[in-house]
Structure 1
């Protein structure tokens, strides 16, 4: 959600605009509806446009004069305050254009500040909350403050969340600050970078510094300094990112989503590597050393990660640990039984999801032990929680999560096994269960090689709505299947536990409502087949996703087969078929699969 790129370069003035546009292109996956850049030289050269990045590039193609400074900032905006117009696009300036600002997050007291500044004679040209910042800086400058002091004083007036970067005319420094919105610095050989996410500059450098809340940064072509709110310098560690720039490319696929679906066998191998000992039936997670078996577990998450949490909840409950899953925006630890023996797990691909971060902070205040289950090293969640377990899925560019969901499911399987001594568990005999986890990549590869999901998608292209049902471990994947389809096709879809069909949703079932049923040969198959018969009696077509095609062949119109495996592992494999159905349906409808309307990859506002 929104993207920032900044650059202070030593490689030649003509490189700056190219670096900014390239960075914005790499950040398109985050979701946006307008874009803009500002380059500092003797004055500020600014261009911004509502719409896609291509519109900004078209505008610059005929008017790039003046964009030859060595320092600049760029932004892709996801609208919160005001529609996606040229005026509301970032960067924002004061009337004299003596400073330009880009901002991610929400300034909660902007109306109060805007009224204060308007009464002092400042004129505003946009609907955004961000525009108060350059006017605050202008007022500090008019009072005699230098550039850095004016920036700090302005930031000190803000309430809410922000990652902010600023440039001035006749100045080769980019000034930046963060609070509850991600910002990372890149240390390059031909200049220095800042961005809301590493992919913005990964082609130029893999040496990064992560800013923490309340920290300020100043980037020049030759140096980077980080300081606290009082200006005292802070010594930061430099991390080396292991991602290869080519990992963020499409590798010949038409869409990132299709590529990332195909990457799931590799992602799961990376997730499992070094963590399981199949012969002894043990899981080793050194990063969780010292974490004792909790009295209870609470998952907090949003969207796809919430569905992963529901899956993890079932794994832990079957192992005897009381577990609940909460939509993060609804979580308040002060209202719940939470103490030091409670483990609160934040499931978040980016590690920056604002609602999940707020829930984790609530849990920390209540004294709970917190664990981040995340994909991004040194993300906010990773740094603020007591423990972190990385899912190791690699960069995921498409807004619709695919391989990260699979890696979250596998990571939760490992976590549940590590937390509980399952040696005597009939439901999870350790050697069998870990063997099936090890076989997962091969099982998923067989689905990728043999799936008929494209033909099923073509058959139901004109359906009125799509229902997804499953029981037990499969119920969360039914929810995820519906979410994936609605995200990228814009078609109505619902997912729910199979038993809920007769408690309301059955009223909506017609011959134009295909029902996708997840049926496990070893987990309540008979009950789910009963639900299938209920919809068939209403003339609804049924697609079974199953490891036992013979048991459902007489009750369904189509079968999407998966290899037989442990019932707790089956949903990870079955979900791949549902991902492919959603993908091929969206492809046939010519939807913008990687960048669905109104959605963002990393949601950093509440």
Structure 2
């Protein structure tokens, strides 16, 4: 979803706003803009395209110690100069940036037009500065006008506003993330911490209904009625260098290569005397659970499938549900249902809605997320963090691996509590192999042939990925990565489903990547060979010592390990395959078209 930033304090604001927007481009890059207030008017600069395009239009930086900025992922209206944020009122005295969707904007726009307001864009956002201007005229006080405007809005929003002649930033949130950054000489507001991580690590995670007023040397948080609100100050433990590309050409490549560290962090302290342990979960915490529902979207859904497979194997009634369809697929839910929300950002709108629906029906909730202080972490009954650090590339890589490992450990922790469940009989061997997983990922990174395979097959018509058991979710994730960043047709299937329809699409121009783990692989082998008999080249993706290697046309090898973890090593190979194919095709790897990293609207 869109990225917003605001800054007020000592010194010039423009460069800070622009660098903050560059750090937020994973949230949207259809258009960008800034507005700076310097006592002689609100100066707005915006255009379609990326932040680099915006910077190229600025002959000089606008002066002023305060301002707001925005990088857009289009919802209402195409990515044009007119639809870029910030938006202003007719007098250009009020400038606003917004993340979210205003559901009643048609009605508000019509009412404002009836009062003489003229609009310049197709966006829902533009009603907000017009509302503030209208209420300023009738009320006479800007803070009251902002409060009144916010109360009028229906839908989701995180907004920041500046007003000509006032050395203040006004902001509010409902359903979209907004974080306050605190430094000695300046304050920040942003959709996400990386926007200002170079300046401060002290943050306040704002909650729905919060309204913030920033002065150069103070901040106030109130509710919509004007009552003061206290929010705790947290310290972010991310290193600012973690949010940069470093020596790598792309964020995605860096994040693939930092998976060993991310996995080590995810594992650390979570195995105790041969059992899975989470310090925030008491003994017997899941004793009354009889059904577990995983809810997630996209890559997180594939990680949830990984956890769901393990939990079903432990004898626990388990469902893995797409959060966007939870309201129609969830079935019975009661106080003995545990809903596990898997969301990298902790702000995914569909996942949050699913949790709220389940909670309203009596279920207990647990969030598995990467972001401390996120909405999911705050709203769920319990939260577990995957500890992957900041991930900037839109196509998730290290967060998938960290989610899958964290969920695998969680499943064993749940199974240990439920009386009739049976944790994996070989969990000691499984955990021993898990300790080696970061090192094994390093081996894959050092020995991979993915770039050569990408060169061999990058001009194919279609790409198919198959797998069984743990390999199934990896096949789906491999196909998703490939289509996300190459824009080529790619599909993932359960191995046994290839012959039930998709085989009709198989030709000599459709390589099949067969993921195997060393367990339950017979269907993968037989279906791969069947596709090969129709002319498709077969690429085996898995450990060396497997019969499929002998008949495959090529092999992406992973170290021999426990079957539970082999799929995650295969996934690293498929991430690299997608990356190198996209690079050969000259795609914008970190910013794939039409996509944003954190989808905070339905």
TM-score (normalizing by structure 1): 0.97
1:210 deviation in Å?
Answer: 0.7
Equivalences for 1:71-220 in 2 at 5 Å?
Answer: 71-220=66-215
Report the count of equivalent residues.
597
Give the direction of change, closer, same or farther, for the CA distance of 1:451–1:428 in structure 2 (3 Å limit).
farther
Cα distance per residue 1:407-448 (max 9 Å; x no partner)? 000000110111113999595422111111111111111111
Q: How does 1:416-565 map to 2 (within 5 A)?
A: 416-421=411-416, 427-521=424-518, 523-565=519-561
SS at match of 1:560: strand
Matching residue of 1:311: 306
Please name the residue that 2:585 is paired with: 589
Distance (Å, rounded) in 2 between the aligned partners of 1:553 and 1:89: 52
Q: Could you tell me how far 1:191 is from its partner in structure 2?
A: 0.9
Q: Secondary structure at the match of 1:569?
A: helix
CA drift of 1:144 comes to: 3.0
1:457 Cα deviation after fit: 0.6
Task: Tell me, yes or no, if structure 1 residue 24 matches structure 2 residue 3.
Answer: no
Structure 1 residue 404 corresponds to structure 2 residue 399: yes
Q: Which position in structure 2 is the counterpart of 1:292? A: 286
Which stretch of the first structure deviates more once superposed, 256-265 or 562-571? Answer: 562-571
The answer to which of 95-104 and 289-298 deviates more is 289-298
Matches within 5 A, 1:314-329: 314-329=309-324
Question: What is the DSSP-based 3-state SS (H/G/I as helix, E as strand, rest coil) of the residue aligned with 1:511?
Answer: coil
Paired residues of 1:268 and 1:407 also in contact (CA < 8 A): yes
Residue deviations 1:116-139, cap 9 Å, x none?
111111111100000111111111
Q: Confirm or deny: 8 A CA contact 2:306 2:408 kept in the other structure.
A: no
User: In the TM superposition, what whole-angstrom CA distance separates every residue of 1:386-420 from its partner, at most 9, and x where no partner exists?
Assistant: 00010000000100000000000000011011111
- Give the alignment's TM-score, normalised by structure 2: 0.97
Residues 495 and 428 of structure 1: is their aligned pair in 2 closer, same or farther, counting only changes over 3 Å?
farther
Output the CA distance in 1 between the equivalents of 2:135 and 2:521: 69
In structure 2, the residue matched to 1:4 is 4
The answer for the alignment partner of 1:51 in structure 2 is: 49
Are the equivalent residues in 2 in contact too, given 1:33–1:50 (CA < 8 A)? yes
After superposition, the C-alpha distances for 1:13-66 in whole angstroms (9 at most, x for unaligned) are: xx2111111110111122220000001122111111011111211111x254xx
Given the alignment, which residue of 539, 564, 569 partners 1:568?
564
Contact 1:529–1:555 (CA<8 Å) still a contact in 2? no
Give the Cα–Cα distance (whole angstroms) in 2 for the partners of residues 63 and 247 of structure 1.
30
Decide whether the 8 Å contact of 1:532 with 1:555 is kept in 2: no
Partner-residue secondary structure (3-state), 2:564: coil
C-alpha distance in structure 2 between counterparts of 1:292 and 1:358, whole Å: 23
1:37 paired residue number: 34
2:222 paired with 1:227 = yes
Secondary structure (helix, strand or coil) at the match of 2:207 reads: coil
Contact 2:31 2:73 (C-alpha < 8 Å) held by counterparts? yes
Stretches of structure 1 lacking an aligned partner (at least 5 in a row): none
Match of 2:358 among 349, 354, 363: 363
1:437 and 1:428, CA in 2 relative to 1: closer, same or farther beyond 3 A? farther
Tell me, yes or no, if the aligned pair for 2:517 and 2:564 is still in contact at 8 Å: no
Tell me the C-alpha RMSD between the 2 structures.
1.5
Q: Is this contact kept in 2: 1:549–1:559, CA < 8 A? A: no
- Aligned to 2:241, the other structure's residue is in SS state helix
| C-alpha distance in structure 1 between counterparts of 2:479 and 2:545, whole Å | 22
